[in-house]
Amino acid sequence: MKTLSQNLQKHKSKNPAVRFLLNNFYEKLSLLLGSVESAKVLDAGCGEGFTVKRLGSQLKQSEIFGVDTSEEALNFAKDIAPKMNLKKGNIMQIPFQDSYFDLVLAIEVLEHLENPEKALSELKRVTKNYCIISVPNEPWFSWCNILRLKNVVRLGKNKEHINFWDKNEIVSLANEFFEVKEVVLPFPWIILLCKKKFC
């Protein structure tokens, strides 16, 4: 039997606390999305397509693209987000030309990467206006895992995560590539609305 990805497990969870937190996360993400132009959108590291599915009503007038390295995740995304134009690719070398999108999303991606700076540089390259980034808010995210007896031997740290940021750390990193316009904290995550710097 195949092991479900962490993202798939999270979105399929029947745990009422997990569902409540996810719903709150998507509500806050939706509010940020409503404040920016999104005619052409890229979900970089789209996984199984849950973000586009959850934001579907807001993105119904948008042309939506998704890129991910996992063929299995992309096949799943075809079913749950059929409007998304899917392409196998890597966030370190996004297969689109410069300034192709009005908005780029990187939702729960950077914490998995050995070189998040390279990914942020690529996100900046392919957007002409905005980027929305989310990451777990540490140490709260890990503490939540401990409370639900998950990853206890790793002190709550997800085995798929390489990077661990608090609000100040991720804002500082994002500001190297973008102007961070807004920060929201849907517990236990951080979401940044960023504007492309032209310099």
Per-residue pLDDT of the chain (199 residues; tens, 9 = 90+): 344 577 877 888 888 888 999 999 999 999 999 999 889 999 999 999 999 999 988 888 899 999 999 999 999 999 999 989 999 999 999 999 999 999 999 999 999 999 999 999 999 999 999 999 999 999 998 888 787 767 777 776 788 899 999 999 999 999 999 999 999 999 999 999 999 987 6
| Each residue's pLDDT tens digit, 19-76 | 999 999 999 999 999 999 889 999 999 999 999 999 988 888 899 999 999 999 999 9
Tell me, what's the pLDDT at 4?
54
Is residue 7 domain-resident?
Answer: no
CATH number at residue 186: 3.40.50.150
Tell me, what's the pLDDT at 115?
97
Is residue 123 domain-resident?
Answer: yes
Q: What per-residue string of b and e applies to 46-56 under the rule 16 or more CB within 10 Å gives b?
A: bbbbbbbbbbb
Is residue 6 domain-resident?
Answer: no
Give dist(CA 52, CA 171) in Å, integer: 24
Tell me, what's the pLDDT at 37?
84
Size of the chain in residues? 199
Q: Is the peptide bond before 139 cis (omega within 30 degrees of 0)?
A: yes
Residue with tokens 């740290």: 157
Is residue 155 domain-resident?
Answer: no
Number of domains in the chain: 1
Give dist(CA 198, CA 93) in Å, integer: 20
Is residue 1 domain-resident?
Answer: no
Edge to edge, what strands does the sheet with 40-44 contain? 85-88, 63-68, 40-44, 101-107, 127-136, 189-196, 178-184
121: containing domain: 38-137+163-196
Is residue 61 domain-resident?
Answer: yes
Is residue 106 domain-resident?
Answer: yes
Query: What is the phi/psi pair of residue 54, to 5°?
Result: -70, -30
